[in-house]
Every structure is written in structure tokens, then in C-alpha cells.
Amino acid sequence: MNRFMFCCLWSIAAFASSAQPFPEQLKLKLSDGTSLVLCRQMSISRSTPVYFYLPVNLRVSEENGNKEFLFMPYKNNDTGAIQGAILHLLIQWGLTGAQLEEAEQFLATYVDTAATIGGSVFLEPDPAHPDVEIVFRQNPLGEILLRSMKNVPKTALNAGSKMAFSFGLDAEDARVFNDAMKDAIHFKNIRFKVYFKLNTRLYGGDLSDNFFIESDFSKWLQQ
Amino acid sequence: MLFWAAICVASAQQIMVDQGGEFSGLWCFPVYGDSATYLYLPSRARLGLSGDSLPEFSFLRYVTEKPGNAPSGTITEAGGGGIVTFLILYDTPEAQIREAEKELREKTGNRKAILRGPVIFIRGRYLLVSSILMPDGNTKKEVLGAGEAPVLENSRLAFSFEVDPVRSKLLLESFKMKTPDISLIFQLGFSGLTDSYEAKLDIDWSEMRHSQSFGAGGSAYFISADIELGFDELIRNNTIRLTTVGTNESMESLLNMVYSKLLDLMFKPVEPEKVPEAKKGGLLDALGAIAGGALSSRKLAKVGFNVAFQMKHLQMSGQSTLYFHGRSTVERNHFISFNIGDLYRKYGQNERIFRDVALYDPAFQQREVYVGVDGSLEKEFNRMVNNVTVRLRKKHADGAITMKEVLINRSVFTDSTGRFRMVYLNRGDTDMIKWLDYDYQTVWKFVGGGTFISEWTHSNAAMINLYAPFQRRIIALEGDFALLSQQDIRAVSVRIEYPFFSEIKKDDRTIRAGDNLNEKSFEVTLPLGREEVDYSITWLRRDGTKVSVGGKDQIGLLFIDELPKN
């Protein structure tokens, strides 16, 4: 068995019975557990199957190998109490280089040796949720994030584009947050959600035209 | 049969937005009419670089003197702050372009495919994200800086912010981290053509007249949202049959076009105010609901929400066929975000990037010299002193001389709080120690007309302590008048003379038998440094003859019973 954790080829019926030589959509699970949906679009090349992937893998972005994440509590002096804190982070979605390579290898193995991935699907912002949202249930740390947030980034529609946040925490919130940072579990179920609208006519198949991706803040702290 | 062709005029620069792809991290789109030529979306934002490859960034922290609130404190907090300035642009690395072009050729199978240049954006916005740079008083959820961004890559966008001392320190500490609290987002809009669509629309007019939605014919008024729902129904029940030719990838654009054409065919816009009262029904309420966002019409959005329509009196019968083919222009957004990065690690020691300065510019400084008046002098304004003039002379390094003076008399002293000051500026005095040096002189005017002008005195102190240039002395008389009486002395006359600045003062006493000598003493006022007074004592005998003696007294005591031997 190869290293792909092949989940399903749910449009396999269309693959087999229709006149189309390649499936419109594929679902697979990468070796790191990431679930991926690939949608075929013929227009980019009539001769080779080109697939685009649905948004996936919402994460803290990296630059030069460093996570773009800053948590900086500050004091008036070395022995004094925390007077406030700055939290700054950039997030992005999309396949990493390794994931993209793995997915393309899957296509070459199971679909067509010429099959390739053309990037993420073409998306539009969801008019009902044009901004990144932070959702949680009864978690004071989530409340702190909301009230200290200085900007609300718009949804990035292309894979790899980054969304930047800055939070300015007052003294009390900074002390609570700083204590909680000692264990990421305190931030469990505080989720960052990004909503999209998909032109389903472009890709066809059984796709919802409104969907979202999300990730848990605690997961980012553990990375 | 009707024929309709919608052909959008596409410029040579238009890209095919539905045919793009990501190659080596670069989004590329083919140009309309030239499937081998692609344009790319710029991939990164960064700080601009100067000619010597240093980032166009500076963080200047400055310190200024600030009046302390606690006068007794010797160490207080200085004033100051910081100014951060940087230039940002977006571009695409040449190496990435070449890599993307290579991958583009491989994936499209088109060996002649080229990346010609960047997509030209139709509009751009930037958003600066930072808690530290957020000015005080701004409400939350508000970004620090937002505005129009350049639409051409490599165009620089300049930022400059001034921060208070606390934020200045916070910003510096933030710069020492790998992800400082400054990020920038470019939101760049571009347009392009959708894929072409070809479709045939068959309309059954007899079914149309019986449709649930539009059966009322010309007597009914509609709003755009209702019309769209009606069209949806007509398509569902095959009153209107839309048949696409080839792929249906651009169905969304196609439906927009179809619905708009149907709207033109079947309806005419009317102003809601002109709809007859009897026909208005819930029309105005529905329009109000649309304006409030409760209803919306997506495919007919271009006609505007606040428009009512009246159905035309259609004379059509049988079946009609409309043909559609063409492309639509759509707009998309591209985001480029970046964090300013760990500049301090690379350039923390470079004073062209990070610098702390003391804003100590002597040209803007002034020296204040105070005049302190001793409490004992206050009494002399009543007795001896009319007024005092204090003169200050400052010889500057540039050769200029500043002369200042302050006049103190009884009324000025009483009205003031005892603080008199003179100020001189810095005129080329680069040696700040020497700048403190000055000379002063005092001019005393005494009661009775005397004047004393002191020598110029060198000083660098902030205070000129003013004290009286004279001293008081008591010259007592001692002796046994009984002895003098035995020597036939009838009276003794004592005179003292002493200089008092520009005049000679004299005082006389005459002592007779029975006088209390304690009441005959002299009180003299002598210039400082002078201890002696001239005196003369004359003894008067009963026969009218006199004996005199003179001398200088330094001890303050004259004996009147010591007659000269001769």
C-alpha cells in the first residue's frame, strides 16, 4: 500500500460511466491527516486534467522558517507586575509545499500522469461573513481576544495570502492571558473561522457554495 | 424569433480570470486572445531598499528634558518618544517569476507560455495592523492606517508615525522579536474576463401568461427580488428553457446576462411614487425591506434595489428563442500581507536604522540666572538702601555680549516673591561649560545719595546671592568722668569719621558729667572689608582750653578718661 491515506474517490461513478475521462472531484487524506478536496477545471488546459483544491490547512504563517506569532507581555520594570501585552499573528491557508507535492503525486499515480494541481479554487468572500471570525463558547480567553483585537482582517481568497491580527491587551487581560499561555489547553475551542463563497457552477459536482475552514487557537500554540 | 448576442469587448490586456493557476506560488492568468501569454499577481510585500541595499526604514528614539514635577527629586523622567518611518512596496522576485514560468510551461503543456508581467490592478487599499502604533483614543476594531495603495508594483508607500516614550520602548522591544507588531495588508482589485458562454433560451409565451409569478400581466407591479424568484420558477417549470452549449463553467455570468435580458423584455422600471395607490399594495414595504437588507436580488443586482417594475403588455405568442454568447468582466481581489520582520537582529547596531538621540540642541537653550536677596537686606531697604541694580554680562563665543540687569527696591522686593532672574541665550556657545560662565556687578544706591558700584565678579552659578556691601559696627565709649572732673575737665567731645562708599560720614558725641556712656555709643556703617574708623577726642577744660587727640579705632572701643600727658 502506498503512503497515501486514500479516503474516497466519490465521483468515481462519473469517472467510470460518463464521457468525461477524469473525475470532477476527488477527496483524499494526506499522510499528515489533512483532508483535501480537489475539483477539476478543464478550462486551464484542454489536454491535461488540472485540479484545484478547496481551502484547507488554516495555520499560523511562516517566514524564513519562523512562525509569524508574537506574544509580548510588558512590565514597567523587571520586578513589577505585567502592565499589558501585545499579541500579533499572521495566518494563512492552503497547502504547504510538501502537501502540494504529495497531492500531485497522488494525482499522477491514480488519475493521470499528466494530472496536476493548479492551485486553490477561485473563491469569493461570503457576504454574510466577509471577515475572519473568532468563535468560542464561554471561554474568558476568547472574550479577551475579542475585546483586545485592534483590527479584523478580511478573508484572503488565494491560498498562501496572509491575514494579520494585532491585539493590545490591558494589564488585567495580559496577566490572565500570560498565565493561560503556560498550557495551550486553556485555549481549546477558541476557533478562528474563515468563510468563503464558491462559484459552484465553475466546478460542478456536489459542492456547497458557502463553506468555511477553521482552526483551533490551542493547536497553533502547540506547534 | 429573437436573436440576442452579448459580446463583451475585451481589451488586449484583459486576463481570463477563470483560467488562472498557481505556479511556484505565483498566481498566473492567461491574457484574452493569447493563451500563451500570462500575467501574474505580485506575490510579496516588503520594505523598500535604498541604493546601498539597506531597508528604507528608520526608528529614531529621542530624549528631551522635561520639567520635573517633584522639585526635590534629583532623578526624574525625561520626555521624548520615537519616530518610525518606513517605505513599503509590493513586487515579485525575479527568480520566482522564472520558476513559475518554467512550471507553467510544464503544467499547461505549452512550451511557448511566457509570463509577460504583473497584472495591472484597478484599485488598491492598504491596511496597517499594529496595536503599538494605534494612536491613543482610537476605538477598537480600527486599524491604524488605511488608505489608497499604488496599483503598480514596485511603487513605494511611505509611512511615518510618532509614538510616546512608552510606546517607543514597546516598539523597540517588539522589533527585537521575530514577528514585530507591525504588519501591512495590501488589498488589490483586478478585473478580468470570465470564460465564454454559449446558450439558447427558449420562452413559451403562453405558459408565461399562466405562470403563478407573472400571470397578472400588465396590471401588476414587482420589485427586482420578486422578479428573480419568478424567473427561477419559470426555469424550473420549463416555461423558460436554458440550454448551454459546450461547458457550463460560466453559468453564473450567463444567468446574470439571461435574467437581465428577460427583465428588459418583460418589464419596464417605474418610480414607486408613481404607482397608483390602489396598486401599491405592499410594494413600498417590500422596497423598504430590500433597502434594509432583508431581501436581495443577486442576479438582478445591477438594476438597483430600490426599483419597482411594471410588467409590459406582451404581444408575444408561441415560442421565442434567444441566443447568448460572450464573456463578462468580473472583479476579484488579491491580498498581499507581510510582517515587517526581525529588523533589529539584522540592523540593531546600525545607527542608520535604529538610533537613540538626546535632543540637546544648545541653539534652543537659555540660561536663567536668579538673584537671591537675603532677608537681612530687606531691612536695609527701610534704613540704608534705596535700590540695588544687579547687572549680568555674558560674553558669548561668537563675540557677542549680552547685558541684562534687574532693579530691586523696596516695592519691587515686597511685590515679588523674592525671585528675580536674568536670562541669556546660547550664541555659538558650543562649550557648554563655558556657556555657564558670566560676570555680574551690583550698583547700590543708598539713602542720602551714596552709591556703591561693585567690581565685576566672575561666576557660573545659577544664583547671584545679593547681600549688603556694608557692615554695622558699634563703637562704645568708656571712661570714668569723675577722674576727668578732678583734672578740671568739663566736657569731652568725640568725633568719628569713616568713608561710606563715595562719601565721608561723621558723627559726634559730647559727654558731660553724669551722662550715661552706654547711651553715647556710635553705630557706624562701614563698607565690607573696612574695619577702622578715624576718631578724635577733645577735652574741654573749665578755663576754656582744649586738648585733642586723634587716631584710628579698629576694636570699637574709645576711652575718654585717658588724657594725653602733654
Q: Tell me the backbone φ, ψ of residue B281, rounded to 5 degrees.
A: 50, -130
Q: Are B252 and A199 within 8 A, CB to CB?
A: yes
Please report residues of B whose CB lies closer than 8 A to that of A90: 179, 183, 337, 339
Q: Does B42 touch chain A (CB under 8 A)?
A: no
Nearest CA in chain B to A66: B178
Total count of domains within chain A: 1
Q: Mind listing the pLDDT tens digit for each residue in B195-224?
A: 766 777 888 877 777 777 776 555 577 777
Residue B118 has pLDDT above 90, yes or no: yes
Query: Which residues, including other chains, have CB under 8 Å from residue A109's CB and lie 6 or more apart?
Result: A2, A4
For A23, half-sphere exposure in the C-beta direction (CA atoms, 13 angstrom radius) is 19
Q: Which residues does residue B114 pair with via DSSP β-bridges, in sequence order?
A: B37
Q: Do B337 and A162 touch (CB under 8 A)?
A: yes
pLDDT, mean over chain B: 79
- The alpha-carbon gap from A73 to the nearest alpha carbon of chain B, in Å, equals 10
Which residues of chain A neighbour B338 with C-beta distances below 8 Å?
63, 162
pLDDT at residue number A201: 59
CA pair distance B178, B86, nearest whole angstrom: 18
Q: Which residue has the higher pLDDT, B262 or B387?
A: B387
Task: Report yes or no: A20 and A177 within 8 Å, Cβ to Cβ.
Answer: no
* CA nearest to B296 within chain A: A127
**A167: which chain B residues are within 8 Å (Cβ-Cβ)?**
131
Cell numbers linked to B563? 588724657
Per-residue pLDDT of chain A (223 residues; tens, 9 = 90+): 344 444 444 333 333 334 345 667 888 999 999 999 998 875 555 567 788 999 999 999 999 889 999 999 998 877 789 999 999 999 999 999 999 999 999 988 888 888 888 889 888 888 888 899 999 988 999 999 999 998 888 899 889 999 999 999 999 999 999 999 999 999 999 999 999 988 665 665 566 678 899 999 999 998 7
Chain B residues 345-374 within an 8 A CB cutoff of chain A:
none
Query: Ranked by mean pLDDT, which of B286-290, B374-378, B388-392 comes out on top?
Result: B388-392
What residues contact B320, with CB distance under 8 A and at least 6 apart?
B1, B2, B202, B203, B205
Distance from CA of B309 to the nearest CA of A (A): 26
**Long-range contacts, B540-547 (Cβ 8 Å, 24+):** B540/B489, B540/B490, B540/B491, B540/B492, B540/B493, B541/B488, B541/B489, B541/B490, B542/B488, B542/B489, B542/B490, B543/B488
Crossing angle of the two packed helices A140-148 and A171-180, in degrees rounded to 10: 130
Judge: B131–A90 Cβ closer than 8 Å, yes or no. Answer: no
Look-up: residue for cell 481551502? Answer: A55
C-alpha cell of B494? Answer: 568725640
CA angle A17, A20, A22 (to 5 degrees): 100
Residue with cell 459542492: A207
Identity (one letter) of the amino acid at B292?
Answer: G
Q: Is residue A149 within 8 Å of B142, Cβ to Cβ?
A: no
- Would you say residue B540 has pLDDT above 70? yes
* Chain A residues within 8 A of B248 when measuring between CB atoms: 201, 204
| Inter-residue contact A91 to A163 (CB < 8 Å) | yes
The end-to-end CA distance of chain A, in Å, is 30
* Chain A from 2 to 31: CB within 8 A of any B CB: none
Closest-CA distance, B251 to chain A, in angstroms, reads 6
CA distance B196 to chain A (A): 10
B124 has a pLDDT exceeding 60: yes
Q: How far apart are CA A62 and CA A162, in angstroms?
A: 10
Cβ separation B109–A47 shorter than 8 A = yes
User: Which residues in chain A have Cβ-Cβ distances shorter than 8 Å to B130?
Assistant: 88, 150, 166
Domain region containing A76: 5-222
Chain B touched by A63 (CB under 8 Å): yes
Query: Which one has a higher pLDDT value, A195 or B283?
Result: A195
User: How much of chain B exceeds pLDDT 90, in percent?
Assistant: 26
A155 and A125 Cβ atoms separated by less than 8 Å:
yes
Q: In Å, how far is A5's CA from the nearest CA of chain B? A: 25
DSSP character at residue B467 = -
Alpha-carbon gap, residue B89 to B91, rounded angstroms:
7
**Å between B250 CA and nearest CA of chain A:** 6
Q: Is the CB of B339 less than 8 angstroms away from the CB of A90?
A: yes
Cα Rg, chain A, nearest whole Å: 21
B525 touches chain A (CB under 8 A): no
CA B443 to chain centre: 49
